[in-house]
Structure formats: structure tokens, C-alpha cells
């Protein structure tokens, strides 16, 4: 059951879901940028990085394999971001059960605060990317992006939206396919799950395209998307929830 939907107007849930789709789109762009620019490494999909770590430990090195140092930087920075976000999101306790009074808001203030911190890190990524050579600042750029992804992942987890992750698609994909297989998936959750998956793939496509055709500006679009999500969530969505 979507516990966040218990006492929230349906129109607010639609807005929330569109914001989650937008975050997944931005994540897809960032993953494409990092993977194609810095070798075999992810900034949000840490399952892939753990596999790459094993491949690197076996002795396979670039170009066939990953750079173990880059992979370790991403893993460590993601963990730091996840830990830092919990200082803000502590009342939500991740995936644990919460009282109804704590999920009456479709987009709590603490989620917005965390995503504003994510935006600051991604602006830092953009500035470093544009003023230096990305290849010379690989570790810093991966660190900034992975830290932001760790914070974003916990922010979205704290919303308790079933099956949704905007930084890795495995949970979303299995929720969609399992729901279809058991005929238990209703229209609204199906649209939400499908939207996140399609948006992440579309983001990767756009990220690849911008690297080829507008390389210096590749990280601009995801920064704008995250900024728009924050503005909508912190203004229109919160005001509508209050009314």
C-alpha cells in the first residue's frame, strides 16, 4: 500500500510522481555522463560498482575493466551522501514504519532540504566540469556526483513510495514486472513505475547525446531539472498540501 497516499489528495500524488520521474531523468543523464566520461563506474547504481570492484580485484584494468580507485571513490562518496542525508531525514527512519501523522505531507520539508543540498553538490559538479578538464578532475567529479546521488536516494526512500528509486532501477523494474505477473498492479502505480524507468533510460540517451554534441554543457540540463523539482516541491506542492 502507498502509505503516503492515505490522507493526500490524488492531484498531489500525481505531482509527486511527476517530480520523481523528473529526478529519475536527471539521474539517467548523470549516469551516462559519468560512465562515458570516467570509464566503467557509476555514481548512483552502486550494485554495478560492487561488481566492478570484484572485476578490478581480479586484475582486469582499463580499458577492458574498471579503475578500482574511481570505483572506490564512488562507493565511499555515495555512502557519505547517504549518511549525511540521514542527519536531515532521521525522523523518517528510511524504510521503517512511521506514524500516519508523519506521512500526511506528500513532500515533507526535510525531503526538500535534502534535495536542495543535492542541488548544491550538482552545481559544484557543473562548475568543476565547465572550468577544468573533466579527465583531470575525475575523482572530484565522481565524488561530488556520487555524494549527491546518495543523498537523493535516501530522500526518495523517505517518501515511502512503493517500488520507487530514482538512482537505481532494479527495485522499480522488479516491482513493475512482479505486479504485471500477478495482475495486482493498478493503473496509477503502473504509470509511476513505468514513468521512472522510461525517464531514466531517456536521461541516459540525452546524456550520451549532449556529451557528443554539447560536451561543456552536458551537466546543465540535470541541474535545471533538479532545481525545477525543488522549486515546485517547495512552493506549489507544499502550498497545495497546506490548503
Mean per-residue pLDDT pooled into runs of 10, the chain (243 residues)? 55 88 97 95 94 92 90 97 92 49 67 96 97 91 98 92 86 89 85 95 97 96 97 77 53
Which residue has 575523482 as its cell numbers?
A: 139
CB-based contact 75:46 (threshold 8 Å): yes
Residue 61's pLDDT is what? 87
CB-based contact 159:13 (threshold 8 Å): no
The C-alpha cell of 12 is what? 498531489
Alpha carbon 47 to its chain's center: 14
CA distance 206 to 212: 10
The C-alpha cell of 128 is what? 568543476
Residue 144's pLDDT is what? 98
92: Cα within 13 Å, side-chain hemisphere: 26
Residue 36's pLDDT is what? 95
The answer to whether the predicted template modeling score (pTM) of the entire model surpasses 0.75 is yes
CA distance 192 to 59: 41
The C-alpha cell of 97 is what? 514504519
- Alpha helix segments (H runs only) across the chain: 10-38, 46-57, 68-89, 109-131, 138-157, 170-181, 187-213, 220-232, 238-242
Amino acid at each position: 500500500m502507498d502509505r503516503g497516499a492515505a490522507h493526500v489528495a490524488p492531484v498531489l500524488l500525481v505531482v509527486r510522481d511527476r517530480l520523481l520521474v523528473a529526478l529519475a531523468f536527471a539521474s539517467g543523464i548523470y549516469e551516462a555522463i559519468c560512465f562515458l566520461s570516467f570509464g566503467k563506474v557509476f555514481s548512483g547504481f552502486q550494485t554495478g560498482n560492487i561488481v566492478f570492484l570484484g572485476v578490478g580485484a581480479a586484475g582486469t584494468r582499463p580499458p577492458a575493466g574498471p579503475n578500482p580507485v574511481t570505483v572506490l571513490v564512488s562507493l565511499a562518496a555515495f555512502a557519505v551522501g547517504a549518511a549525511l542525508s540521514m542527519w536531515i531525514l532521521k525522523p523518517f527512519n528510511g524504510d521503517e514504519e512511521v506514524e500516519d501523522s508523519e506521512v500526511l505531507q506528500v513532500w515533507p520539508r526535510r525531503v526538500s532540504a535534502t534535495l536542495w543540498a543535492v542541488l548544491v553538490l550538482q552545481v559544484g559538479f557543473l562548475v568543476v566540469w565547465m572550468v577544468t578538464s573533466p579527465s583531470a578532475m575525475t575523482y572530484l567529479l565522481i565524488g561530488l556526483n556520487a555524494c549527491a546521488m546518495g543523498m537523493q536516494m535516501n530522500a526518495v526512500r523517505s517518501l515511502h513510495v512503493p517500488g520507487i528509486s530514482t538512482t537505481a532501477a532494479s527495485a522499480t523494474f522488479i516491482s513493475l514486472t512482479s505486479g504485471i505477473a500477478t495482475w495486482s498492479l493498478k493503473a496509477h502505480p503502473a504509470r509511476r513505475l513505468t514513468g521512472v524507468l522510461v525517464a531514466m533510460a531517456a536521461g541516459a540517451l540525452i546524456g550520451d547525446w549532449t556529451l557528443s554534441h554539447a560536451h561543456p554543457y552536458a551537466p546543465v540540463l540535470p541541474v535545471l531539472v533538479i532545481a525545477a523539482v525543488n522549486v515546485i516541491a517547495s512552493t506549489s506542492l507544499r502550498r497545495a498540501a497546506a490548503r
